[in-house]
Amino acid sequence: MRTTLSRPGVDGLDAAAGALRAWQDEGVPWQLHPGDIGWFRRFGAEATAAAVRTWGRDGRILAVGLLDGPRLLRLTTAPDARRDEELARVLAEDLGDPGRGVLPEGAAYAEVPADALLHDTLTGNGWGTDESWTPLRRDLTEPVGDPGVRVEVAGPEHAEVRAAVQRAAFDNSSFTPDRWHAMAAGPLYTDARCLVARDARGEAVAVVTVWSAGPGRPGLLEPMGVAREHRGHGYGRAITVAAAGALRRMGASSAVVSTPSSNTAAVATYRSAGFEQQPETRDRRRDP
């Protein structure tokens, strides 16, 4: 059977997330994580379903994409399908043709696993490269040390504080308590935790959300941020160490995160928290 593109709808999100969960494994190059869909769920179930695309063959999902904005598709495939020629061809056709309902006309971008044959196919179709990203990883075989600050798990009663620090950490953030509740209402949040770090006075200074993909699999930090007025005091390192500890308690084999390579401060923060820098990746770009 031919590889086909689908929009899973709300009822199909569990299958897409389940495929992503099964594909997370140590030694596999950086890829889309079920936590990415879980974090997107802050916009609601319908919006999340509208942003997800799947490609399948013979009843099996082979690739999952998340439109992280109207012009950026974050894409991954089953590890054993990375060199599948038909899948690479169909993906390239669907990403290149605005009529397929994946990416619009004009400039568009795609995140693709580093070892995927799709890179070669896109290059042959005239795609270039764009922003550089730095993946980082911390092994969780050994116990994680104390973060050195007070850290609490944010539940519904902390939604307002959690959202306020998020907005104070990221320019143009639209995160609100309602969006926290929408995210937490999603099924993927069952395997997630929001953490809030507080300073010596008890003021919330940094936040992170961690997402498990199940015991023995890599867990994701998405997002992590420190309020602007509290930067430079080690809170980024502290909340990142706490995140690694939370994932280890949830059974994760490692903690992973990816940040723009241009954000050297973030790279330094993760490294200070015991994360090892991995080879850079680059988004692919389709010019108008």
Cβ neighbours, 10 Å, residue 8: 19
Tell me the pTM.
Answer: 0.97
- CA distances, 18 to each of 21, 24, 40, 62, 90 (Å): 5, 10, 16, 12, 22
DSSP one-letter string for 62-93? EEEEEESSTTEEEEEE-GGGTT-HHHHHHHHH
* Exposure class string for 116-138: b at 16+ Cβ within 10 A, else e: bbbbebbeeeebeebeebbbbbb
HEC profile for 120-168?
Answer: HHHHHCCCEEEEEEEEEEEECCCCCCCCCCEEEECCHHHHHHHHHHHHH
| Tokens 């090892």 belong to residue | 276
- Would you write out the chain's pLDDT as a tens digit for each of its 288 residues? 799 999 999 999 999 999 999 999 998 887 899 999 999 999 999 999 999 999 999 999 999 999 999 999 999 999 999 999 999 999 999 999 999 999 999 999 999 999 999 999 999 999 999 999 999 999 999 999 999 999 999 999 999 999 999 999 999 999 999 999 999 999 999 999 999 999 999 999 999 999 999 999 999 999 999 999 999 999 999 999 999 999 999 999 999 999 999 999 999 999 999 999 999 999 999 998
CA distance 181 to 42: 7
pLDDT in tens, 130-188: 999 999 999 999 999 999 999 999 999 999 999 999 999 999 999 999 999 999 999 99
**DSSP letter (8 states) at residue 116:** -
- How many whole angstroms separate alpha carbon 110 and alpha carbon 66? 10
**Residue 30: its pLDDT value, please?**
77
Give Rg (Cα) of the chain: 19
Q: What is the dihedral of CA 104, 109, 114, 117, to 10 degrees?
A: 40
The greatest distance separating any two alpha carbons of the chain, rounded to the nearest whole angstrom, comes to 62
Return the DSSP state at 231.
Answer: T
